[in-house]
Amino acid sequence: MPLITTIEPSQAQGKVADVYHQIEELIGSVPNVFQLYSASPELMEHQWQQTSYFLHHPSLSFPLLALTRMLVSQDNKCTYCIDFNAALLMERADYTVDQLNEIKQNPAAAPLDEKEKAMLLFSLKVTRAPSSVETADIDHLHHLGWKDSDILDAASHAARNMAVDAVINAFKVVQDKFA
């Protein structure tokens, strides 16, 4: 149980029930992190809208985004998100435990094409040393075919994950049984 009162899916009503239904349709269940956000239905709805946006992103692939979240969470020591995203990568992208362990040690080892690997490493730079981002970083991404909207989305996704990690860690969200 997290440190604050949340709403179980079977007890949800109104906006919370609506969002839970959308989550269940897409994911199959309601992860504990979304149950945490049920304490603030408006924030929960906003979080789900952002999650849905990235789940259907036209340019940023599922593996790229899940790897970004896993690696950012590793930096933030958010075991919930590390394990959750690792499980997603194994289930939906056929990554192995050995591959994930190697990627955790060396993100450049991620089995992504050059374009996506550059975006992954850029996103990590944004979260690890944002002041070090330079025009050359953006120029390199443009050269690989990324648009400014993709670059901003990837950077925002990584930065947003830092905030989610802090909330998960602060409120002691318990690992999901399925992850």
* 110 torsion bin: left (phi>0), alpha (psi -120 to 50), beta (else): beta
Listed by start position, the domains of the chain span 9-55, 62-171
Domain topology for 62-171: AhpD-like (1.20.1290)
Gap between the Cα atoms of 3 and 14, Å rounded: 23
Predicted confidence band at 178 (pLDDT cuts at 50, 70, 90)? low
pLDDT (average), residues 130-152? 98
Phi-psi region of 4 (alpha: psi -120 to 50; beta: other; left: phi over 0): beta
Q: Rounded to two decimals, what is the model's pTM?
A: 0.94
Coil/strand/helix, residue 179: coil
Tell me if 147 sits within 8 A of 92, measured CB to CB. no
pLDDT, tens only, 67-120: 999 999 999 999 999 999 999 999 999 999 999 999 999 999 999 999 999 999
At 13-30, the pLDDT tens digits run 999 999 999 999 988 899
